[in-house]
Amino acid sequence: MNIVSKIKTYELKVVQQILALGPSVLSGMKCGRRFYFIDRQLWEFYERPLKQFVGDDFCLLIEALEENKSYLKLAGYYKALIEAGFTRNDCLVTFGGGILQDLSGFVASTLYRGIKWVFVPTTLLAQADSCIGSKTSINFEDSKNLIGTFYPPDLILVDLDFTRTLPDAAFNSGVGEIIKFHLLSDERRYARLKNFLASGDLRQSPHIREIITSTLEIKKSYFEQDEFDTGIRNLLNYGHCFGHALESASGFSVPHGIAVIAGMGFANRIALGRALINEALVRELELMLRPFYPAIDFDEVTPESIISYMKKDKKRTGPGLTMILLKDIGDAFKAQDLSEEEIGRVFDQWKKKN
């Protein structure tokens, strides 16, 4: 897949057994030395082949925790690269999921005003969603993704084998984004989604490459119309307005894609309360989403905490609270007039279902 960006055109390749191929898979990148940011848990799982892949090159292991994409952590990443002798001719290579992508992308976009960057997404969510689209995001204090830039990798290498060893929560987090994109597409792709979800063990599904490709194509169609998120791309935040608030309110104990699943369910109830969506469709979608809902500590996650974080949502532009609402498959819009009372009322209804 070739992706045309106003920043730079970049390429996504699907490869098999990337660790066995070794750094020769990067031979097409015109750069000096390679420097690596690698998810620490991934390193521990694939230590031997990753050591062989990295060789004597600089490698920084980073825990995939939301706190590690805090603005307070950035100085450590810059310092590590600069002290290791990184120059503008060199290349940063990242192995990991969305957290490693966010912090690496931000560093790559700001160090020396922009450096070469290769991303190897190793989670389903990163492979099917975040790896393309150019966004980088950094957390500010207890609010998610308030600081960021637009800066795509020069090259993305997707190896589906990584998804087969993911913990359930991480895998299902990717499924959440896959569902979201297909609900924002059309009936043909919605049928493709239902076919994938009905295929038993999703990790071993014969449709997994097809559904990842389909998800990326949907996302590409949105952001190539609106790369800098000022119009139609806003609709891709379906599930995210409540979802980001849920992540923050839970102390990030709820993974991103699973929070988005809960957020879609919540948004559907808002839309139903406003008579914007057919009740039969809401029931159908609830049956699809509910198996992936997170366990929630409602002593910690309260209407007040959700509303507090929704007030900090960077998509909010007026006095009302913001949420993307679905009216039908492929038919969504941005509502900007939600009241605190409406959120509280629907939260109580939603809580009873969980």
Give the number of residues written for the chain: 354
Instruction: Select from 66, 134, 115, 121 the least CA-distant residue to 95.
Output: 121
User: Taking the CB of residue 230, how many other CB atoms lie within 10 A of it?
Assistant: 8
pLDDT for the residue numbered 330: 96
Contact 161, 19 (CB under 8 A): no
Q: How far is CA 174 from each of CA 33, 127, 181, 203, 340, rounded to the nearest angstrom? A: 32, 8, 11, 11, 30
| pLDDT per position as a tens digit, 26-79 | 988 889 999 999 999 999 999 999 999 999 999 999 999 999 999 999 999 999
Domain 2-165 identical in fold to domain 168-352: no
pLDDT for the residue numbered 336: 94
| pLDDT per position as a tens digit, 267-279 | 999 999 999 999 9
Comparing 190 with 317, which gets the higher pLDDT?
A: 190
State the pTM of this model. 0.91
Mean per-residue pLDDT, 314-327: 90
pLDDT for the residue numbered 130: 94
Place of tokens 């308030």: 146
Fold (topology level) of 168-352: Dehydroquinate synthase-like, alpha domain (1.20.1090)
pLDDT for the residue numbered 16: 92
**What residues does each domain of the chain span?**
2-165, 168-352
Beta pairing class for 155-158 and 116-121: parallel
Mean per-residue pLDDT, 245-274: 95
Mean per-residue pLDDT, 299-309: 95
Q: How far is CA 79 from each of CA 73, 74, 84, 92, rounded to the nearest angstrom? A: 10, 9, 8, 14
Binning pLDDT at 50, 70 and 90, where does residue 352 land?
confident
The CATH architecture one would assign to domain 2-165 is 3-Layer(aba) Sandwich (3.40)
Place of tokens 């949907």: 218
- Whether residue 354 is predicted with pLDDT greater than 80 in this model: the reply is no
| pLDDT per position as a tens digit, 86-133 | 999 999 999 999 999 999 999 999 999 999 999 999 999 999 999 999
Angle at CA of residue 10, ends 330 and 127, nearest 5°? 55
Residue % of the chain over a pLDDT of 70 = 100
Mean per-residue pLDDT, 165-171: 91
At residue 167, the 3 state secondary structure works out as: coil
Residue type, 111: L
Burial class (CB in 10 A: 0-12, 13-18, 19+), 158: buried
- Whether residue 353 is predicted with pLDDT greater than 80 in this model: the reply is no
